[in-house]
Chain A
Amino acid sequence: MRAAFDSFYDKYHKDLFQYVFYLVKDRTTTEDIVQDVYIKVLRSYDQFRGESSEKTWLFSIARHTTMDFFRKQQRSKQRITDFFNRNDQVEQVRDQSALPEEVIILNEELKGIYHLLDQCSFDQKNVLILRYLQSLSIRETADILSWSESKVKTTQHRAIKKLQKLMVAERGGGDGDG
């Protein structure tokens, strides 16, 4: 198990952490999810047949694990919402995550993009992160998401358009609180 872990960690850990972090935007949650990903990978490594690349397989598991996290969060959020009957209570919970130092030092424009990513759908975020932050090809992205290449292209296009609109709205809005 140690050898397999070393191999995955040395080759992919930085990318894996980065990928999950940008999906969840919280360091502790990222650590938990990444840990879960490794546990799944190491437990099922004997079932990995090498028919996809290791990285594709690893990122697919990471994506599913993150989706599971959001599903669980959604259920608990629903319970909280039901309890308070007020959505703003839930929003406050989400905004409490501290900004990582790497983001604090960014200029306002990049900080804006960092925040606006959260207004994209889970699929759009996935494509933006894999394509631009992970520098993966359309094909590799399609493999990880189990999509066709054309679906990746379409989602990417829509995500960029959405970000453009959001940025204009934010700048034009002036006093809006984002």
Chain B
Amino acid sequence: MDKRKFSEQQLQEQIKKLPKIEDHQSKELLFEKIQAHTPSRKNTNKRQLSFRWLIPSMAGLTAAVILFVVLQSGVFRDDQITEHHEENMEIMSGHDQNDSSYDARGDMESAEFDEFAQNTEGFVEEELGDFMLYYQDEHQFPTFTIAVADQQNMFAIPITLVSTSSTGDPNDYYNRIDTFVDEDQLGVQTFPFEDIAFEFTKGNQQLFMTVADDYQFPPGSSNAYMFQKMVNIMFEKYSFDHITLQTDSTDQVDLGPIGVKDQLELQPVDNLAYKIYQYEESTQRLFVPIDMTNGNEITNIEVALEEMQQDQSDFNVYATIPEEADYRLVTSDDETLVIAFTSYELFGYNEMTYEMTQAILATAKSFGYTEVDFTIPGLDGMFGRFDLDHPIPVPDGINPQILH
């Protein structure tokens, strides 16, 4: 044997002999430092919120100022704008255009015109960021909700798959979940569903979950907790109250910390506060539903909206309603939630306000409302895809991913 080489056993013993490294700072000093970094949640959040939303808001304000200057300078008069708009509609309708009609637009190119026309209703969609909700339109594409976890395995995040060319059979989607998720792009992790087969019976009356006889549930109670959260979200719309469990040859499955079960109860997915999850600047922003506040379940929409004003930046989760924003709420109607904000400097045709609007719609849905009537000072009419002059329906899906 090579004398220079430790045996595995010897090496393990040597590693164990490495010294304990002592912390030289006192317990009191450490606690003081921690306290200094966690003053009151509100103060910390206020600072972070103001800074994070400053840039998009300033961009929006700058764009508004430029637009104002352009209009005031008379480069485009109102009658020209109307004319351009009408002509544009004709172009979109496929009507023939002659040279004189083009001349009437002056020097404005078609793309510029399109942008300008949109600006008269609201800002272009890029100013407002991604649209993170899904509404069934006239196409009625089938949707399937899957779930992923944040990087710290604390929160289950829904993703709505919109299948534009589908058989509509959920078995085609729930058995290849990992193929739909780009973990790096989303900054999330997937549960190892590849070891599990889900089977919907005809008419989606019952749901079976089948695993191999030697299946091993992923270790750790956080995985068990996350699994339960995920299946609750994924199968919510099917109205199952449980999943029937089986292995290839038995009617029970060992779900680790959940226990050995023949069926897994599905828990209701309601009373949620939607915030933003973004793992890194380069990863996609996603809505994440939060179901606890200060260690307690969220019981009503008032509490949910308050929770939406709080950052949890250690978990890459961020508020969707500015901490400083005030609002009045009318919840007496079971169908329509009325929320009227008071004036707030950062409200405008910007990404922050657009995300807030979307998050409130998602939250309202989880409390059973079907629409939300918004009053946001400084905003009316069309705001991105919303018409703020009327109550806005709650969405059909969250974090849509269109499959082609």
Contacts and interface: CB of A to CB of B under 8 A. Distances in A.
Contact of A142 (B24, B27, B154, B220): B220
A47 B296 CA distance: 9
A39 B30 CA distance: 11
Contacts of A31: 23, 25, 30
Interface string B151-176: 11110000000000000000000000
Contacts of A47: 154, 292, 295
Contact of B153 (A43, A139, A146): A146
B30 A35 contact: yes
B195 to A, nearest CB: 11
Contacts of B18: 22, 106, 110, 113-114, 133
Interface string A25-55: 0010011001110111011111101011000
Interface string A100-143: 10110010011001100000000000001000110100010011
B95 interface: no
Interface in A60-118: 60-61, 64, 100, 102-103, 106, 109-110, 113-114
Given A35-B37, A113-B18, A60 B222 contact: yes
B225 A49 contact: yes
Given A102-B22, A160-B12, A149 B315 contact: no
A39 B11 contact: no
B358 interface: no
A167 B6 CA distance: 8
A46 to B, nearest CB: 3
| Interface residue SS majority, chain A | helix
A139 B203 CA distance: 42
A52 B34 contact: no
Contacts of A2: 31
Interface string A1-22: 1100100010001100110011
A171 B22 contact: no
Contacts of A167: 4-6, 11
B11 A164 contact: yes
Size category of the binding interface on chain B: 35 or more
B309 interface: no
B23 A44 contact: no
B283 interface: no
Contacts of B378: none
A39 B34 contact: yes
Contacts of B225: 49, 51
A166 to B, nearest CB: 11
B219 A51 contact: no
Given A1-B38, A46-B294, A52-B220, A160 B257 contact: no
Size category of the binding interface on chain A: 35 or more
A143 B30 CA distance: 28
Contact of A146 (B6, B19, B34, B219): B219
A143 B256 CA distance: 12
A61 B153 CA distance: 10
A110 to B, nearest CB: 6
A176 interface: no
A148 B295 contact: no
Given A46-B292, A47-B154, A143-B220, A109 B14 contact: yes
B218 A146 contact: yes
A5 B34 contact: yes
Given A5-B31, A35-B37, A110-B17, A51 B222 contact: yes
Contacts of B35: 1
Nearest to B21: A21
A106 to B, nearest CB: 7
B21 A22 contact: yes
A170 B292 CA distance: 54
A58 interface: no
A57 to B, nearest CB: 8
A43 B23 contact: no
A47 B16 CA distance: 35
Contacts of B218: 146, 148
Nearest to A133: B18
Contacts of B20: 14, 18, 102
Nearest to B12: A132
Contact of B4 (A39, A61, A172): A172
B8 A160 contact: yes
Contacts of A1: 35, 38
A21 B19 CA distance: 11
Contacts of B37: 35, 39
A114 B168 CA distance: 58
B216 interface: yes
A106 B314 contact: no
Given A5-B34, A133-B15, 11 more contacts: A14-B20, A39-B34, A39-B38, A42-B38, A44-B312, A56-B220, A103-B21, A113-B14, A133-B18, A164-B5, A172-B4
9 contacts: A1-B38, A9-B30, A22-B18, A30-B21, A34-B23, A40-B314, A43-B38, A102-B20, A132-B15
Interface of B: 2, 4-6, 8, 11-12, 14-25, 27, 30-31, 33-35, 37-38, 41, 151-154, 216, 218-225, 257, 292, 294-296, 312, 314-315
Nearest 10 A/B pairs, CB to CB:
A46-B295, A51-B221, A102-B19, A52-B221, A132-B15, A17-B23, A40-B314, A143-B220, A21-B21, A142-B219
